[in-house]
């Protein structure tokens, strides 16, 4: 068989194995986010299943993976409490999905074009930093907080930073042993011939973690990891869970309740913004650098949320953590996302006991390595080389996300980026060029292609810098549009202030539509 014929098979193989890796990482994340949201554990898995299969089939993104979002956990918790229960909340999720479909149909995805590169890069690096900081406690067996929690203030009272100190004071030797062995394997793997095989390092790390713990348990070692530090998929019929707990219906009787609609609008807006942010960031992780259609993604997410709410799931978005693991596992098509959803479905129905043998510390090792790749020193160096206007919003976005949450951090990053855009516009639009004409010095004030009210202060300062005997030429030859306020300033200067100061001022290049006379 020729090389060109084997490539499709290799691609399918990588997608299937990538789906397995994402599935293994997604299990504790789905459960942890559900726990942090104050929702039934099964609701997190339901969301992951719908996000993988349904959104995976509809989405136009090749490497994005959808599921319950850590960034929505605080909103979900507040809405469940505010609406008086989980079933009324599910109705809000259904309606939010319908609104998202409408956003997509109305081409609301165009909003993604307004996210600056520095903020998107900052988002990716911040997720990397958070993965490292949040997973370090789990790496050594400190599992008091949900695995999917990404907020600065944690449920146990610790913060992102103090949790590491607490974890180091309460290291679980067996979990730390497994976590460090898996971490070492992930670091060594790329330097071995196995790196060129289809078998991914994260899957090898999980299998090694399970095997190590099973050997410890079989030998009666005190280092064996107990169930509280393993994956905890609810087992139907064993953990008190029934299928009626899994498939919960919304409370449609409250569809006319304004509080339900307010919750739906809130969820739709926040989930859509987070999806568009994550979609743009995920496209940067795609090895083939393909562009995902944002309007189609909003429709896909809307359909997914509608179905998720109908059967007892949480609201979903495109998720950076799972998408990052997916891209780094070598997946190149939506088959991996769909595979991860199918495997989640199978885990609930068929294999929960086997999955509950996976140590959380081995999954923490995978996420920490993923974090290092997202927040590598090369990323910081590249943004530094692009200048302060790119580097400062990048760093502030990272710090803001780490110390608050994803959406608040991104808003702060956008504000910082806007400040630099404003600063550039205020300083731009007006440039002075000194020319020698027939032995006389002429100061040519060249106006930019667009001169707005933001340039008024700089223009005034420039004009005020000239005095007795100076000759200036205001040149609008490159100008397509001048703000009326700026035109008024030029008129006043030519008619009154220049003669009073003894400045010889002339003008050139002004279009006939401008209410001034060329000199």
Same structural domain for residues 102 and 245? Answer: yes
Same structural domain for residues 46 and 135? Answer: yes
Same structural domain for residues 125 and 237? Answer: yes
Q: Is 351 helix (H, G, I), strand (E, B) or coil?
A: coil
Q: Which of 383, 415, 447 is the last residue of a domain?
A: 415
Instruction: Give the count of alpha carbons within 13 A of 372, CB side only.
Output: 9
Quick one: residue 108, left, alpha or beta (phi over 0 = left, psi -120 to 50 = alpha)?
Answer: alpha
- pLDDT, tens digit, 9 for 90 and up, residues 425-438: 776 678 888 888 77
Same structural domain for residues 321 and 449? Answer: no
Residue 517 lies in a domain: no
Same structural domain for residues 436 and 362? Answer: no
Q: Which of 350, 380, 415 is the last residue of a domain?
A: 415
- pLDDT, tens digit, 9 for 90 and up, residues 30-50: 988 998 888 988 899 999 999
Same structural domain for residues 452 and 335? Answer: no
Name the DSSP letter for residue 225: P
Tally of structural domains, the chain:
2
Token couple for 75? 């909103």
Same structural domain for residues 25 and 92? Answer: yes
Least confident residue range of 94-103, 170-179, 336-345, 415-424: 415-424
**Residues of the domain holding 98:** 3-415
Q: Which of 388, 415, 442 is the last residue of a domain?
A: 415
- pLDDT, tens digit, 9 for 90 and up, residues 106-117: 999 888 888 888
Same structural domain for residues 362 and 299? Answer: yes
Sequence-distant (≥ 6) Cβ neighbours of residue 160 within 8 angstroms: 130, 133, 134, 152, 154, 402
Sequence-distant (≥ 6) Cβ neighbours of residue 494 within 8 angstroms: 474, 505, 507, 516
Same structural domain for residues 44 and 129? Answer: yes
Mean pLDDT of the chain: 89
Which residues of 224-342 form beta strands (DSSP E)? Answer: 316-319
Residue 178 lies in a domain: yes
- pLDDT, tens digit, 9 for 90 and up, residues 226-276: 999 999 887 766 655 555 656 789 999 999 999 999 999 999 999 999 999
Residue 276 lies in a domain: yes
Residue 482 lies in a domain: yes
CA separation, residue 428 to residues 46, 299, 337, 486 (Å): 53, 40, 46, 14
pTM of the model: 0.82
Q: Which of 334, 479, 299, 487 has its CA nearest to residue 16?
A: 334
Instruction: Give the count of alpha carbons within 13 A of 161, CB side only.
Output: 4
Residue 421 lies in a domain: no
Check residue 422 and give its pLDDT.
82
Residue 352 lies in a domain: yes
Give the CATH number, domain containing residue 442: 3.30.750.24
Same structural domain for residues 407 and 482? Answer: no
């Amino acid at each position: 068989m020729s090389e060109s014929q084997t490539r499709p098979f290799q691609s399918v193989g990588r997608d299937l194995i990538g789906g397995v890796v994402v599935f293994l990482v997604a299990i504790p994340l789905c459960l942890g986010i559900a726990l942090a949201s104050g929702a039934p554990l099964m609701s997190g898995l339901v969301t992951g299943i719908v996000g993988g299969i349904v959104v995976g089939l509809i989405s136009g993104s090749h490497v994005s993976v959808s599921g319950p979002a850590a960034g929505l956990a605080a909103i979900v918790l507040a809405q469940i409490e505010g609406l008086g229960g989980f079933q009324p909340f599910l109705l809000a999720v259904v309606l939010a999905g319908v609104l998202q479909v409408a956003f997509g149909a109305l081409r609301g995805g165009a909003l993604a074009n307004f996210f600056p590169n520095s903020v998107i890069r900052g988002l990716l690096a911040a997720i990397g930093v958070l993965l490292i900081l949040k997973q370090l406690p789990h790496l050594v067996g400190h599992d008091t907080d949900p695995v999917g929690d990404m907020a600065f203030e944690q449920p146990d009272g610790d913060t992102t930073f103090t949790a590491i100190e607490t974890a180091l004071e309460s290291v679980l030797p067996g979990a730390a042993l497994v976590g460090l062995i898996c971490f070492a394997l992930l670091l060594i793997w790329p330097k071995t011939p196995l790196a060129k095989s289809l078998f991914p390092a994260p899957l090898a790390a999980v299998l090694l973690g399970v095997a190590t713990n099973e050997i410890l348990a079989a030998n009666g070692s005190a280092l064996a990891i107990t169930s509280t530090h393993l994956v905890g998929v609810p087992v139907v019929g064993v953990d008190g869970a029934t299928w009626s707990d899994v498939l919960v219906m919304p409370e449609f009787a409250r569809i006319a309740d304004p509080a339900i609609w307010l919750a739906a609008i809130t969820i739709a807006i926040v989930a859509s913004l987070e999806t568009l942010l994550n979609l743009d960031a995920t496209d940067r992780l795609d090895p083939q650098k393909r562009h995902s259609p944002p309007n189609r993604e909003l429709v896909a997410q809307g359909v997914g949320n509608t179905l998720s709410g109908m059967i007892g799931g949480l609201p979903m978005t495109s998720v950076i953590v799972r998408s990052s693991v997916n891209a780094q596992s070598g997946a190149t098509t939506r088959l991996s996302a769909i595979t991860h959803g199918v495997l989640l479905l199978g885990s609930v129905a068929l294999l929960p006991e086997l999955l509950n043998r996976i140590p959380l510390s081995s999954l923490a090792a995978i996420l920490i390595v993923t974090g290092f790749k997202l927040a590598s020193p090369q990323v910081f160096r590249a943004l530094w080389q692009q200048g302060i206007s790119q580097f400062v919003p990048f760093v502030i976005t990272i710090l803001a996300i780490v110390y608050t949450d994803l959406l608040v951090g991104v808003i702060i990053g956008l504000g910082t980026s806007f400040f630099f855009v404003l600063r550039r516009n205020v300083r731009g639009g007006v440039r002075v060029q000194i020319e020698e004409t027939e032995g006389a010095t002429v100061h040519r004030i060249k106006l930019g292609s667009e001169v707005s009210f933001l340039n008024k202060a700089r223009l005034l300062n420039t004009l005020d810098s000239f005095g007795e005997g100076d000759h200036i030429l205001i040149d609008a030859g490159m100008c397509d549009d001048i703000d009326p306020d700026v035109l008024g300033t030029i008129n006043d200067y030519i008619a009154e202030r220049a003669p009073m100061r003894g400045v010889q001022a002339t003008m050139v290049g002004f279009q006939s539509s401008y209410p001034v006379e060329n000199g």
